[in-house]
C-alpha cells in the first residue's frame, strides 16, 4: 500500500459510445482534453484506449495512440501513461502489441496485461497463456511495465507464476477489478483475499464495474489502496442511473472522498520513483536488469 492515493484515470474504454453517453471522449482531441482536465484536477496515471477516427470503434493502431500520447505529453510530460493491449475485440499478437512499438517521446510507460481469459456479459476477453507471456516478454524487451489486471484470485496466482519464470519483475502495479458477472464480486471477502495474495512489492488500485465503482473506490481510499476511475468502467454518476457522469464529475468526487479520508493524491513523479520508471519529460518506461 502507498500512503498517498494513486488515481488511475480511465477516460474511454472499449464499450461506451456517444449513443450511450455524449460525455465519453472518443476522438483524439476529446481524449487529450479530458486527460488535460484530469491532470489539472490531479491524477497519477492514465489508462488509454484509442478509437478509430471514422467508426469510433476501438483500434490497436500505434499511430492513433501516438497522437493521443503526444497531445498529453505536450502539457504533462511527467504523467504516467498506459496503453491498452486488450483481447476483447481482437486476439492477434501483431495487433494487440502494436502500441508497444512506440518509442522515444511517444513510448508508453505501461501496457495493460490481463492475466487470463474471462467472460463479460455478452463477449469474452481471450488471453491465452502464450499471448499473456508474449506480451509481457515484449514489454520487458521494450522497457515497458505491465499494468497487471486481475479479475479474480487465479489471475493473481498467474502473476506469481510469471514472476517465478522471470517474465515480469517487481515492483508490480495491479488493477483489481470487481463486479464483472463472471469474476470476483464487489464483496469484502473477495477483496481481502485478493489483496492478501498479491506478490511482494505490489502496489494496487481497486476498480468496480458499473454501480460498484463508487463502493470499491471508496473502500480502497479508506484502507490505503489506490483507485481506478473513469467512464471506461461506469458512465453513471448515481446508483439509480438518472444522471450521466463526465470524467471530471467522477474525479472530483474521488478528490472529495480522498480529502475526507486525509489522503493526498500521489503525483506522477512520485509514482515514477516508486515503480522504478524513467523520470519522464522525454524519458519513459523502465530499464530492466536481467536476473
Full pLDDT tens readout for the chain, 291 residues: 568 999 999 999 999 999 999 999 999 999 999 999 999 999 999 999 999 988 999 999 999 999 999 999 999 999 999 999 997 888 899 999 999 999 999 999 999 999 999 999 888 999 999 999 999 999 999 999 999 999 999 999 999 999 999 999 999 999 999 999 999 999 999 999 999 999 999 999 999 999 999 999 999 999 999 999 999 999 999 999 999 999 999 999 999 999 999 999 999 999 999 999 999 999 999 988 766
Q: What pLDDT was estimated at residue 90?
A: 83
- DSSP designation for 44: S
CA atoms lying within 13 Å on the CB side of residue 20? 18
Residue 274 to residue 202: CA distance in whole angstroms? 10
Give this prediction's pTM: 0.97
Q: What pLDDT was estimated at residue 1?
A: 56
Q: What pLDDT was estimated at residue 123?
A: 87
Q: What pLDDT was estimated at residue 209?
A: 97
Cβ neighbours for 206, distance < 8 A, ≥ 6 positions apart: 176, 178, 191, 216, 217, 219, 220, 225, 226, 227, 228
Q: How many other CB atoms are there within 10 angstroms of residue 20's CB atom?
A: 12
290 exposed, middle or buried (CB, 10 Å; 0-12, 13-18, 19+)?
A: exposed
Q: Classify domain 7-274 at the CATH class level.
A: alpha beta
Residue 257 to residue 201: CA distance in whole angstroms? 26
Retrieve residue 121's grid coordinates.
456479459
Q: Max Cα separation, the chain?
A: 53
Amino acid at each position: 500500500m502507498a500512503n498517498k492515493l494513486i488515481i488511475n484515470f480511465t477516460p474511454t474504454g472499449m464499450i461506451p459510445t456517444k449513443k450511450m453517453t455524449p460525455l465519453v471522449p472518443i476522438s483524439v482531441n476529446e481524449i487529450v482534453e479530458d486527460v488535460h482536465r484530469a491532470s489539472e484536477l490531479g491524477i497519477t496515471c492514465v489508462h488509454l484506449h484509442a478509437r478509430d477516427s471514422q467508426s469510433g470503434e476501438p483500434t490497436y493502431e500505434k499511430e492513433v495512440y501516438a497522437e493521443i500520447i503526444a497531445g498529453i505529453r505536450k502539457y504533462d510530460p511527467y504523467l504516467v501513461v498506459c496503453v491498452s493491449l486488450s483481447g476483447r475485440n481482437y486476439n492477434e499478437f501483431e495487433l494487440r502489441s502494436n502500441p508497444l512499438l512506440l518509442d522515444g517521446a511517444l513510448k508508453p510507460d505501461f501496457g495493460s496485461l490481463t492475466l487470463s481469459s474471462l467472460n463479460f456479459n455478452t463477449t469474452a476477453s481471450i488471453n491465452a497463456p502464450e499471448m499473456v507471456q508474449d506480451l509481457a516478454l515484449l514489454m520487458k524487451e521494450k522497457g515497458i511495465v505491465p499494468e497487471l489486471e486481475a479479475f479474480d484470485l487465479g489471475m493473481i496466482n498467474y502473476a506469481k507464476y510469471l514472476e517465478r519464470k522471470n517474465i515480469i519483475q517487481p515492483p508490480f502495479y495491479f488493477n483489481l477489478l470487481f463486479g464483472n458477472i463472471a469474476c470476483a464480486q464487489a464483496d469484502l471477502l473477495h477483496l481481502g483475499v485478493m489483496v492478501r495474495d498479491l506478490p511482494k512489492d505490489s502496489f494496487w488500485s481497486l476498480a468496480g464495474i458499473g454501480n460498484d465503482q463508487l463502493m470499491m473506490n471508496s473502500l480502497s481510499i479508506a484502507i490505503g489502496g489506490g483507485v481506478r476511475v473513469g467512464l471506461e468502467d461506469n458512465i453513471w454518476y448515481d446508483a439509480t442511473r438518472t444522471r450521466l457522469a463526465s470524467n471530471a464529475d467522477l474525479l472530483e468526487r474521488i478528490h472529495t472522498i480522498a480529502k475526507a479520508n486525509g489522503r493526498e493524491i500521489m503525483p506522477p513523479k512520485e509514482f515514477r520513483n516508486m515503480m522504478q520508471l524513467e523520470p519522464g519529460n522525454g524519458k519513459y518506461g523502465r530499464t530492466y536488469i536481467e536476473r
